[in-house]
Chain A
């Protein structure tokens, strides 16, 4: 298990991405799936940085773990309760005029991950991203 606590700020996203990429490569994921992990983790951290904390930024704990069958990344923050999976699906047919700027992050996480779970536990938001590695 690789674990690291980052400040929940947009500026640290490249470091978080490097951190999970190393873990994903160590778990034997191929280049395409490593990119998928990078994308999902970037989107998840953007969410925490934008929505979890008011005032001074808090922290986000990132925990990566590979087993024979699965590669899992957990993101844990102690910010306001926020289920990123509860939002509405974006309208992908919308023309330019109707397109909101944003709203595709969670959609992309769902596209590239095999499983995504959210739970609120003891004052913490926990988002779990899972890839099956045995296929």
Chain B
């Protein structure tokens, strides 16, 4: 798993690539806690480079969403494909977070 974070126009964009699984998610959750304690706000997880996710990864997303909501922030996802799109789709996560096709759509939806 590779994670990179950048700020743009009131958004925090976190690009996650590789695998979000039982082995890598603890590190993702640790980084997520640090981001939220640095200020929260609107976060976008860009999963364009993510090829695999398991229930551990879903737990990581859910835990970040809960932390952000506690700070009046929110979480959106974009760039889902293949297994990642299928797994997040069947798990019903769109009930509590916004899912966009591309980062551009997030920017437009947010302005």
Contacts and interface: CB of A to CB of B under 8 A. Distances in A.
Interface string B76-111: 000000110011001110011100000000000000
Interface in B21-47: 21-23
Chain B interface main SS type: helix
Contacts of B54: 39, 42-43, 46, 105, 108
Given A93-B92, A95-B96, A43 B55 contact: yes
B110 to A, nearest CB: 19
A99 to B, nearest CB: 6
Contact of B87 (A13, A14, A108): A108
Residue among B54, B65, B95 with most chain A CB within 10 A: B54
Interface in A1-38: 10-11, 13-14, 17, 32, 35-36, 38
B58 to A, nearest CB: 6
Interface string A92-107: 1111100101111101
Nearest to A94: B95
B95 A102 contact: no
B22 A104 contact: no
Contacts, number: 75
A103 B55 CA distance: 8
B55 A104 contact: yes
A39 B62 contact: no
A111 interface: yes
Q: Chain B interface residue count: which class?
A: 20 to 34
Residue among A10, A38, A95, A104 with most chain B CB within 10 A: A104
B22 A32 contact: no
B92 A35 contact: no
A108 B55 contact: yes
Interface of A: 10-11, 13-14, 17, 32, 35-36, 38-39, 42-43, 46, 92-96, 99, 101-105, 107-108, 111
Given A36-B83, A43-B55, A46-B22, 13 more contacts: A13-B23, A17-B21, A35-B83, A39-B52, A39-B83, A42-B22, A46-B56, A92-B92, A96-B66, A96-B69, A96-B97, A104-B55, A104-B59
